[in-house]
């Protein structure tokens, strides 16, 4: 049996968690929110998370508004400024303003004097609830993948009981928080939100499943290129937008172009910026499932 140093084992663990996480994140982005494309879905997630931040820090409020049928009412949501959202997503103010006004006209957002909210009417719509249920199913399979490869640390005990669908909305909040954290790290490599989505897709696309070696160490699967058309379908973004972003990332040396498509190579993933993202991601994945375990979601899956 070959020896794997603790440092290498840690790096391999972070890489495999990264591969599984990127695939999960792109799937969540591709599911969208109530038929929104992945770019608008990320924007809505950022607004909603800012709206409910004070409530998520209150255990009583978390219990009160954890059920799918019970979004926090509009008067308990904290409005967020367009400039704050633009800054958090690395967007030009005018771009954020234009998208938010378009979403407001569609009833997805509401622009008030103090800022923007995602209204309860949208968060209780059949289209939104359907997307939450799809996300919840993908979240469970992500958990099962991580457990199958022994990648999660021991999880805490649940702090309060879970019943049926009662924690789906709470789980969606934790997933949104996780997605925004990872996106922020990828934005620092890609430069902006749209490029970050393309970079996430290029990093996730075409990666084979991890393998368990004879020494018991899990190792990353082989990486393969992804075609722009395939990626645009998966992200639900215009094909030309996706292609343009991939070409810009290629020019900046962030993505490699081959005859078969675009990809993030092993050498790129070994660079300092990606190593920082993968290391932070492994901690954020553990944080995500720790939060789900405390809220009783993981125990519910085992019942």
Q: What mean pLDDT, rounded, does the chain reach?
A: 88
Within a 10 A sphere around the Cβ of 222, how many other Cβ atoms? 10
Taking only the tens place, the pLDDT of each residue in 228-252 is: 999 998 888 889 999 999 999 999 9
Token duo for residue 117: 């909210």
The reported pLDDT for the residue numbered 78 is: 96
pLDDT at site 165: 47
Boundaries of domain holding 208: 6-302
Asked if the structure places residue 61 within a domain, the reply is yes
* Burial label, 24 (beta-carbon count in 10 A; 0-12, 13-18, 19+): buried
What is the sign, positive or negative, of the torsion defined by CA atoms of 181, 30, 147, 5?
negative
Q: What are phi and psi of 216, to 5 degrees?
A: 85, 0
> Does residue 119 belong to any structural domain of this protein?
yes
Q: How far is the C-alpha of 102 from the C-alpha of 109, rounded, in Å? A: 9
Assess if residue 118 is contained within a domain: yes
Say how far apart CA 174 and CA 193 lie, in whole Å.
Answer: 20
pLDDT value at residue 3 = 54
- Residue pLDDT, tens place only, 247-299: 999 999 999 999 999 999 999 999 999 999 999 999 999 999 999 998 888 98
Q: Is 1 a member of any domain?
A: no
Query: How many domains does one find in the chain?
Result: 1
Q: Establish if 22 belongs to a structural domain.
A: yes
216 part of a folded domain: yes
Average pLDDT over residues 14-26: 93
- The pLDDT, as a whole number, for residue 162 is 53
């Amino acid at each position: 049996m070959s020896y794997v140093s603790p440092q290498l084992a840690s790096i391999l663990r972070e890489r495999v968690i990264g591969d599984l996480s990127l695939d999960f994140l792109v799937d969540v982005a591709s599911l969208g929110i109530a038929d929104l494309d992945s770019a608008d879905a990320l924007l809505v997630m950022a607004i909603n998370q800012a709206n409910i931040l004070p409530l998520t820090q209150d255990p009583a409020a978390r219990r009160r508004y954890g059920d799918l049928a019970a979004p926090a009412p509009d008067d308990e949501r904290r409005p967020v400024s367009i400039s704050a959202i633009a800054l958090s997503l690395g967007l030009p103010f005018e771009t954020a303003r234009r998208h938010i006004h378009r979403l407001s006209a569609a009833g997805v957002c509401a622009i008030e004097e103090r800022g923007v909210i995602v209204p309860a009417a949208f968060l209780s719509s059949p289209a939104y609830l359907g997307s939450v249920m799809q996300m919840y199913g993908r979240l469970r399979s992500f958990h099962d993948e991580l457990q199958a490869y022994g990648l999660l640390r021991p999880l805490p005990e649940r702090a309060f009981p879970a019943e049926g669908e009662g924690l789906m909305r709470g789980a969606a909040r934790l997933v949104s928080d996780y997605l925004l954290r990872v996106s922020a790290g990828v934005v620092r490599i890609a430069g902006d939100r749209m490029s970050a989505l393309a970079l996430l897709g290029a990093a996730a696309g075409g990666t084979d499943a991890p393998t368990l070696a004879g020494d018991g160490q899990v190792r990353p699967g082989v990486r393969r290129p992804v075609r722009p058309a395939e990626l645009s379908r998966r992200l639900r973004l215009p094909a030309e937008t996706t292609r343009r972003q991939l070409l810009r990332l290629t020019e900046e040396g962030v993505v490699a172009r081959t005859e078969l498509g675009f990809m993030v190579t092993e050498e790129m993933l070994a660079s300092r910026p990606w190593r920082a993202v993968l290391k932070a991601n492994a901690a954020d994945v553990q944080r995500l499932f720790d939060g789900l375990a405390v809220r009783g979601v993981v125990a519910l899956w085992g019942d």
